[in-house]
Structure 1
Amino acid sequence: MRLSRPGYLAFTIMLLIVLVWLTAYPIAKHLPQGTFQDPLEKVYNGLNVLFTALAFGGVVVTLLFQAEESRIARREEVERSIFELFQTFTSLDFQHVKDSSFRCLLAAVKSRDYAEFLASRLFVVEQLALPGSSLPILRELDEDKRDKADEDIVHADRADRLMLDNMLNFFAMLAQRESSATVIKHCDFAYDWWRPVLWLLGQLQRERYLASSAIQTYCKNQLVVVTLEALDKVYGHAPLKTREEVWAYVTGHPKMVAFGLDGRFALR
């Protein structure tokens, strides 16, 4: 039977203790008389020495096994995280969440007015109303909205924004997991697709937060940029440290240009 690493170390420690004990008496026989008053009795009782050493060895072995169990538990936790997150991300229900979320973000890319509206809705105060100029874009991005009345589109957009909240929460939970780096090595989660559109939204949200004392007073939820900074670090993206770096990245990203980025973002 093959021993595990802790088992091998435990066997080695016990064997070493027994060997030391077995050699102690012959060595003592050749030492000058009086070095040990009586090797077999009071001061140097062989059995006491052996059992004491074995007890100490048992403590060491216990610690080794505990360390091994912790390592195994950690590995199982990572594997469970990978499985759970992958199941969530690939489920049919979550596909609806992704589709609805990306529609909102694409509308924000195509319309700066809608983007400002979307960022405002991430706070409980100072929320903007849905701009009428964005209704044609919402119809363009979703076939189900094309024949709907304006009032119905408002309700449909609200449903999409609720899905965006779920998507933002998903990325926030991913960023906060200690095992994120290991999980991401196994499941990509298409972050490179989400990154530019999320940074656009996150930067607008941050600018609204910094510009409003009311928002700072009443809104304590974590900003989207905190999640993005954590995910960027895990994925190995260069950090976006300043406002200018963020907007240079957003407005210069080839995919954002292909999506039809509103030219007014370049004026920021």
Structure 2
Amino acid sequence: MKSKTAVLGSAIMLAIVLVWALAFPLSRQMPDSVFAEPFGSVYNGLNVLFTALAFGGVVITLLFQAEQSRNARREEIERSIFELFQTFTSLEFQKVKDGAFRALLAAVKDSDYAHYLATRLFVVDQAAFPVKVIPILRQLDEAKKELTDGQIEHADRADRLMLDNMLNFFALLAQRESSAMVIKHCDFAYDWWRPTLWMIGQLQEEHYARSPLVQQYCKTQLITGTLKALDKVYGHSPLSGRAPVWEYITHHPKMLAFGMDPAFAKDP
């Protein structure tokens, strides 16, 4: 199938030839004085044709170069998405996903830990670790069952680091919005992550809004910016405003199946 540029180039050349072919019969209908010297010697049929074709060739060359540039950019984006997909599905990255999701599940089951998790995304004004979440952390991870409370708090840092890595991954994916069709056809499991990420993102946004200290010292993009971009790519209805976001989170079937802390529904 011919590209649009090739079709346009053929049309340009055809138009040049047609104009040149019509020039002679049209000139026969005009007075002889129109083509008197000094124009008569210049107006040579073949010279005019070749000059026009050369000009058309320059235009077509520029069009082809522009198309090649667009194709190269598209291939670069698609290649980067493929590399992200390879990373996402690798065995090494599975540890990142497991650790991140453990932290998110603990946040779903304990609202205090969710607030703690959201504030730890900022460098200042961080909440203290909620000790009451320790039984939940033991329940979610077999490796933590024999650890002391202090050891569990230390091990939880590793899961939170995995969550940071996962958030960075989705932030990179959101930057590929211009290649939405490719992203939609790769299984990045966004629907699984979406409700839990919106929960942390909304808590982060609310903490930012009420903390002058965070506003002064923290300039990183909020999670909700990433999630809005990904929602647009995947075709989800946009979430805007505190009430619609919490309505979505607290009524999501998966969140309820995870055993969401009732405190979210009472006072999120």
Are 2:154 and 1:155 aligned? Answer: yes
Give the residue type in structure 1 aligned to 2:149.
Answer: D
CA deviations 1:174-217 (Å, max 9, x no partner) are 11224341222211311111111111111111111111111111
Give the residue type in structure 1 aligned to 2:16.
Answer: I
- CA distance in 2 between counterparts of 1:59 and 1:248 reads 59
- CA distance in 2 between counterparts of 1:33 and 1:205 reads 82
- CA distance in 1 between counterparts of 2:5 and 2:85 reads 33
Cross-structure match for 1:207: 206
Contact 1:28 1:39 in 2 (8 A): no
Are the structure 2 counterparts of residues 206 and 12 from structure 1 closer, same or farther at C-alpha, using a change threshold of 3 Å?
Answer: closer
Contact 1:97 1:166 in 2 (8 A): yes
Structure 1, gaps ≥5 residues long: none
Contact 1:199 1:246 in 2 (8 A): yes
CA deviations 1:13-72 (Å, max 9, x no partner) are 335534544554465456443232269943423344233312321222112212321332
Deviation at 1:77, TM superposition (A): 2.4
Cross-structure match for 2:244: 245
Corresponding residue pairs, total: 267
Contact 1:251 1:265 in 2 (8 A): yes
Task: Note the aligned Cα RMSD (angstroms).
Answer: 2.3
Contact 1:104 1:164 in 2 (8 A): yes
Within 5 Å, which residues of 2 pair with 1:43-54?
Answer: 43-54=42-53
* Percent sequence identity over aligned pairs: 67
Within 5 Å, which residues of 2 pair with 1:84-95?
Answer: 84-95=83-94
Contact 1:37 1:43 in 2 (8 A): no
* TM-score where L is the length of structure 1: 0.90
Cross-structure match for 1:167: 166
CA deviations 1:56-111 (Å, max 9, x no partner) are 21222112212321332233124213311211111111111111000000000111
Contact 2:198 2:249 in 1 (8 A): yes
Structure 2, gaps ≥5 residues long: none
Contact 1:251 1:257 in 2 (8 A): yes
- CA distance in 2 between counterparts of 1:263 and 1:15 reads 72
Give the residue type in structure 1 aligned to 2:243.
Answer: E
Within 5 Å, which residues of 2 pair with 1:246-261?
Answer: 246-261=245-260
Deviates more, 1:35-44 or 1:145-154: 35-44
Deviates more, 1:9-18 or 1:115-124: 9-18
Contact 1:175 1:231 in 2 (8 A): yes
Are the structure 2 counterparts of residues 248 and 13 from structure 1 closer, same or farther at C-alpha, using a change threshold of 3 Å?
Answer: closer
